[in-house]
Structure 1
Amino acid sequence: MNHEELDASLDSFGDALASATRVTPGNALRPEDIAVAGAKPSDEVAQYALHLGDDALILAQRLSHWISRAPEIEEDIALGNIALDVLGHARSFLTYAGLAWDKTEDDLAYWREEEEFTSLQIVEQPNGHFGVTIMRQLIVSIYQHLLYSRLLESADETIAAICAKAVKEVDYHRDHAIAWTIRLGQGTEESAEKMRHALEILWPYTGEMFQDEEMHSELGDVAVLPSSLREAWDAEITSVLAEAGLEIPKSGLAMAHGRAGEHSEHMGYILAEMQVLARKHPGASW
């Protein structure tokens, strides 16, 4: 399906809100639209979409824990809205991936086991204090913004369309994380120390984001080589940290292989909470 055909298939849905955090006029691609369009991906493309969807799904689950717990009411709303945005990305990618295997987004979210998830280990790391969540969001949103921007030119029309919506939302997520990183880094001695602590515990997981796999090369113009994002990501995050008065830690990188289904001890708890209702009441709808 080309861009013109995809646009035509969306006309019947009318205008939609593109984001929980930003209102964008025009048609916004929704998971339901992808399912109706029925553009079935190859197994390889579906696996790539699954990677992107799993990252977003687990990050959304982590961010949603801040609802009613953020340090101020505006942040309670902001983090909740960011979680909704990211969940929307997950739904779109998982819906598209599932078309290859006759599975729904719910099948992929609720009925896979831990070793079947392909998310990066950084997104499953605990929220910790507010500074840890902000630092994780800074690291991931800069990465996602670069990735989705490149995927606008993906040879796969549906992935490109999903990213056309997602990149606008992640642009806000990135700005939000940058503003808080600078505010906390330049704040009190305590807030700066907490941001340094956040960097120390999260930085080891950054290396996994840029690991190339055979799949990326085989997909050609459909995918983006993660390693090709490293230089731009390094430059942007170094600039932000410098403005915040923070330095990149000298700690080594973790042996993280989330893409291969190898996860930290935290993943099982995330999935147990996320999947319990669907598994306790199979087939239930509401």
Structure 2
Amino acid sequence: MQASISLSKTPALQYLLRIGDTCLIHGQRLAEWCGHAPVLEEDIAMANIALDLVGQARALLSHAGAVEGQGHDEDQLAFLRDERDYFNATLVELPRGDFAFTVVRNTLVSTFLKLLWERLRDSSDAELAAIAGKALKEARYHQQHSADWLVRLGDGTDESRARTEAALKQAWLYAAELFESDAVDEAAAASGLGPRWSELQEPWRAEIAAVLDEAGLAAPADAAFRSTGKRGVHSEHMGFILAEMQHLQRAFPGGVW
């Protein structure tokens, strides 16, 4: 079996990996709907969104490898790290759940990513700014698509509304982690690499509130709980995702199509 790589965990590298890993794991979860979505059109739509996210992750992980300077390429960074060396938000690693949970999670995450890409277009890192310019176009579609479904479910049948309310309550608990700032964010803000994620909380809440209002739903109350995936401390679900993602590369080192 292929051994894990070790990282030089500079603040700049961790900042890039937080974004890239969030896109990668979110894409992995959405891909689980391929062949299982409630209607064919949505099956294709979620697969396409997953592919967009994986493409964003590829660009970010390739750039992260260059920033790190240890010769790690996108495949090594995607498939050969230990769990504690992934820095995605915990929200995206939670189990697929039902369709309502997927719609809610995708709305919360795509809105956040859209706002983050908007800010990253002004990054002092020219490569990151270029990645953001392309990714923003995709994120706008992701947000619009998922928000349309959220309104449809929230303003639909009694069952769809109940499922959506339950999903919103669960996802909201983990969404708070997105806006926790730490030394990594401070270093990124100081260097011009990117914004503190906490700076996105106010516009994110405003956009989510508008969607929920149209759906006839209310945002759940905030809680003191904070998940810690961005710091590399994950839920029990992360190991299962990595076991599936990493199996081929671990079993057949350097294997290519």
Shorter-normalised TM-score: what interval? over 0.9
Number of residues of Structure 1 aligned to a counterpart in Structure 2: 245
1:190 aligns with 2:145: no
Equivalent residue for 1:180, pick from 117, 125, 149: 149
Contact 2:18 2:230 in 1 (8 A): yes
If asked which structure has higher relative contact order (CA below 8 Å, sep 6+), I would say 2
Q: CA deviation at 1:251?
A: 5.5
1:223 aligns with 2:194: yes
- What amino acid sits opposite 1:97 in the alignment? A
Q: In 2, Cα distance between the equivalents of 1:135 and 1:70?
A: 15
Q: In 2, Cα distance between the equivalents of 1:129 and 1:261?
A: 26
Deviating beyond 3 angstroms after TM superposition, the runs of 4 or more aligned structure 1 residues are none
Report the counterpart of residue 235 of structure 1 in structure 2: 206
- What amino acid sits opposite 2:254 in the alignment? G
Cα displacement string for residues 85-105 of structure 1 (whole angstroms, at most 9, x for unaligned residues): 000000000001111221011
**Paired residue secondary structure (1:222):** coil
Report the counterpart of residue 81 of structure 1 in structure 2: 48
Report the counterpart of residue 147 of structure 1 in structure 2: 116
State how 1:1-286 maps to structure 2 within 5 Å: 43-99=10-66, 100=68, 101-219=70-188, 220=190, 221-250=192-221, 252-286=223-257
Q: In 1, Cα distance between the equivalents of 2:159 and 2:14?
A: 43
Relative to structure 2, which stretch is displaced further, 252-261 or 187-196?
A: 252-261
% identical equivalent positions: 44
Contact 1:60 1:84 in 2 (8 A): yes
Q: CA deviation at 1:202?
A: 0.7
Q: In 1, Cα distance between the equivalents of 2:136 and 2:209?
A: 21
Contact 2:12 2:187 in 1 (8 A): no
Cα displacement string for residues 138-165 of structure 1 (whole angstroms, at most 9, x for unaligned residues): 0000000001001101111011000000
Q: In 1, Cα distance between the equivalents of 2:210 and 2:82?
A: 39
Q: In 2, Cα distance between the equivalents of 1:144 and 1:43?
A: 22
Q: In 2, Cα distance between the equivalents of 1:132 and 1:176?
A: 15
Cα displacement string for residues 212-254 of structure 1 (whole angstroms, at most 9, x for unaligned residues): 1112222322111111111111111011101101111126243
Q: CA deviation at 1:44?
A: 3.4
Q: CA deviation at 1:43?
A: 4.1
Contact 1:207 1:253 in 2 (8 A): no
Question: Alignment RMSD, CA only?
Answer: 1.2
**Paired residue secondary structure (2:81):** coil
Q: CA deviation at 1:53?
A: 0.5
Q: Structure 2 length normalisation: TM-score?
A: 0.93
**Paired residue secondary structure (1:66):** coil
- What amino acid sits opposite 2:195 in the alignment? V
Query: Kindly tell me: are residues 231 and 251 of structure 1, through their superposed partners in 2, closer, same or farther at Cα, counting changes over 3 Å?
Result: closer
- What amino acid sits opposite 1:92 in the alignment? A
- What amino acid sits opposite 1:58 in the alignment? I
- What amino acid sits opposite 1:283 in the alignment? G
**Paired residue secondary structure (2:226):** coil
The unaligned stretches of length 5 or more in structure 2 are: 1-8
Contact 2:14 2:87 in 1 (8 A): no
Contact 1:64 1:83 in 2 (8 A): yes
Higher Rg = 1
